[in-house]
Amino acid sequence: MHIVSVSTGCVPQNVTDRFPTDGSLFSGAGDWWVAYVKPRHEKALAKEMVRFSVPFYLPLICREHRRPDNGKPRKAVVPLFPCYVPFRGEQHRRLLYDTGRVRKILQVVAQDSFVRELRGVDAVLKNSEGARVCSTLPIGSLVRVARGPLKDVQGYLEQVEGQEYLVLGVEMFNRYVMVKVDAKQVVRMDS
Query: Given pLDDT bands bounded at 50, 70 and 90, which one contains residue 9?
Result: low
Question: In sequence order, what are the beta bridge partners of 48?
Answer: none
pLDDT of residue 99: 97
Mean pLDDT of all residues in the chain? 86
d(C-alpha 178, C-alpha 169), whole Å:
9
* φ, ψ at 10 (rounded to 5°): -100, 5
Q: Encode pLDDT of 83-122 as tens digits.
A: 999 999 999 999 999 999 999 999 999 999 999 999 999 9
Total domain count for the chain?
A: 1
d(C-alpha 3, C-alpha 178), whole Å:
9
Q: Encode pLDDT of 144-170 as tens digits.
A: 999 888 999 999 888 888 888 999 988
Cα atoms in the Cβ-side hemisphere of radius 13 Å centred on 160? 22
Choice between 188 and 112, residue whose per-residue pLDDT is larger: 112
Mean pLDDT of 112-136: 84
Q: Check whether the bond before 138 is cis (ω within 30° of 0).
A: no
Using the predicted structure, report yes or no on whether residue 1 has a pLDDT greater than 50: no
Q: What is the value of pTM for the model shown? A: 0.78
Domain that holds residue 22: 3-188
